[in-house]
Amino acid sequence: MISKQFQVTGYSEGYYKVGEFTPPRWVDDGLAKPITGATPRYGDGRVVAVPEGIVEQLRGIGDAVYTGTDETAERTRDWWPGTMLAHTDGDPATPDAVIVEASGVKQVQAVLRLAAANGIPVTVAAGRSNVTGSTLPLEGGIVLDIHTMNSILGFNPTDLTAECEPGVFGDVLEERLQTAWGVTTGHWPQSLGLSTVGGWVACRGAGQLSTRYGKVEDMVTELDVVLPSGELVTLGGRQRAAVGPDLKQLFIGSEGMLGVITRVVLRTHALPDYARYAAYEYDTFEAGLDACRRIMQRGVTPAALRLWDNMEGDYYFGNGGNTLLLILDEGDPRLVDVTVDIASDEAATTGTAVDAEPIFQKWLATRFEVPAQNAFEDDGAWMADTLEMTAGWSQLPRIYQRVQSEVGALEGTFVVSAHQSHAYTDAACVYFTIQGTLPIKDRAAWYRAVWDVADKVIIEEHGQLSHHHGVGVVRTPYVAESLGGGMEVLRAVKQALDPGRMLNPGKYGL
């Protein structure tokens, strides 16, 4: 029923472009300035220009090729607030690049072979819904735009698997699956209509119902990947095999730095007709987190345990400032009823039951709304960002308290709120929203300070920097410390697959 609701209401009240890049709201509001600055806002100064002779060869390979500062800005612009900061100041976010659109595997292979032979970096992009700067070409070179690799290739009704290309947008895929085959991926990110399947895989994404259906790494059964050499490999396809490591997982979450994903096979599920929900209030966010922990450790997996802290509970639902928990599930009625009954029993031991109907309906109606990131008024500015992370249940209360306190103490910060969006038996994802009001000239410094302070807390308290948005530009400064000895393993994998450091250079410190 929850997944079916998409057929009725669609995505984001129609505020998006179907099957193509949707600009963030600040662009439609006319806040993007002409690019007049000379120095890129991001990167370490290493820039690789593409010679005109190579550009001409690319024109013979790709479906379309674009060059120049304005084209680079328009065709690499994403949903990261860092890009917004640059473009609303009239600065380039990155060096100029050559944007090559490709709609077929052979084109992808040809571009990578040409780039490898000439030492030119390649950054892959499609939906550009990322909020971390993961598809920005920090060293110029080539941007390989694969959003037109957007075919749904087939469906296996016995295995319940769907096969598609990486440029398929989430809403297009889900509509086809539901109407043609009566199934759903169960993958419902807030960015559904802005994001592509390839982006989900590359950033190890998660949807709103992940407690029932899993994250994207749980859904992918097979991948085709073009390596930096131009070689095409197929990984996976042998479910639960014990023939060495699961190599497809190397590329799930690799953010385009190890290879280019060109085909994905996903598990699907029969489209449910039945849903049930319940709601409870708690005095504190910490008490709500503990209730969610106990529910998960009872062994039930409702589609979602959505916990809003006191500030968000009041802001979104007008509940008077209490922490609010929404339990919801969909599927076979017998399984759903048992799941919600057990979850409710546990929730009620420390919480107070409230009328779930208006809460569920409000969440259902607004779950795909993508908020604004920036606004100007006179000489001041308001801006916002979200920061999601994951940690064990024992660590989350202190991380929540410290991020609220320490980010809240930064001059200009006026809101630090949070909700828990994804839960497991041992851990959960907490999703912070941070807002500031400050002079326009101070925006970039405040923004960097927010991330510095928050990620320092997360590392010190033994959390993980990201649950589903990935690293990109914004988290790169903290990756080595976060991974510890694992960073050398990652460097070795990168060196083995991409010795020329060609794919998405500058991210992860690689």
Binding-site residue set: 255-261
96 and 477 Cβ atoms separated by less than 8 Å: no
**3-state SS class at 209:** coil
For residue 169, what are its two tokens?
């947008």
Which residue, 81, 99, 88, is CA-closest to 35? 88
Q: How far apart are CA 46 and CA 442, in angstroms?
A: 26
Q: How far apart (Å, rounded) are the C-alpha atoms in residues 160 and 23? A: 34
Taking the CB of residue 48, how many other CB atoms lie within 10 A of it? 19
Output the known binding site for FAD.
255-261
Torsion of CA 334, 268, 325, 424, to 10 degrees: 100
Q: Copy the structure tokens of residue 299.
A: 């062994």
Query: Measured on CA atoms in the order 438, 444, 450, 456, is the torsion positive or negative?
Result: negative
Which residues 6+ apart lie within 8 Å of 285 measured at CB? 307, 309, 310, 323, 400, 418
The catalytic residue positions are 431
Dmax (CA) of the chain? 71
CA 460-464-466 angle, 5° bins:
130
- What are the phi and psi torsion angles at 16 (to 5°)? 180, 165
373 vs 119, 343, 380, CA distance in Å? 37, 35, 14
User: Alpha-carbon distance 221 to 234, whole Å?
Assistant: 11
In 3D, which of 386, 435, 375, 505 has the Cα closest to residue 42?
Answer: 505
**Segment (H or E) for 362:** helix 356-366
